Amino acid sequence: MGDEQPTSQEDFIPRIGTFLILLGIFSLIFFVTSDLARKPEFDWLFVGMILMAIGFLFRRRAPSPPPAGRFAGIRTLRENSKKRKQEKADKKKAKKK
């Protein structure tokens, strides 16, 4: 825990975006609950929409995460089976000639 490096601004801005998206979702939930109570507060709706839009703009700057490699084994099995099928097809073509 003590070995963590300080985050740079490039890492920090997407986190702010995530936080704003969460605040926007909560604001929309407040709007829905006020609407269900038959006293709609449209301020919550507009605040939620604005916060979510700003949050998505901030999140858009985030670099895509590297591939996790969870399905590497499945991928290699599929590639091996394709190679075997191709080899069988090539052998059949060679026998026909």
Full residue range of the structural domain in which residue 37 is found: 9-63
| Phi, psi (degrees; rounded to nearest 5) at 24 | -65, -40
- Check pLDDT > 50 for residue 37: yes
- Check pLDDT > 50 for residue 2: no
Domain for residue 41, yes or no?
yes
Domain for residue 78, yes or no?
no
Q: Using pLDDT thresholds of 50, 70 and 90, give the confidence band for residue 5.
A: low
CB 59 within 8 A of CB 28: no
Helix crossing, 42-60 with 9-36: angle to 10°?
160
pLDDT per position as a tens digit, 70-82? 777 888 888 899 9
Instruction: Dig out the tokens for 38 from the structure.
Output: 């038959």
pTM given for the model: 0.60
Instruction: Dig out the tokens for 74 from the structure.
Output: 């499945």
Total domains in the fold of the chain: 1
Domain for residue 2, yes or no?
no
Domain for residue 25, yes or no?
yes
- How distant is the alpha carbon of residue 23 from its chain centre? 18
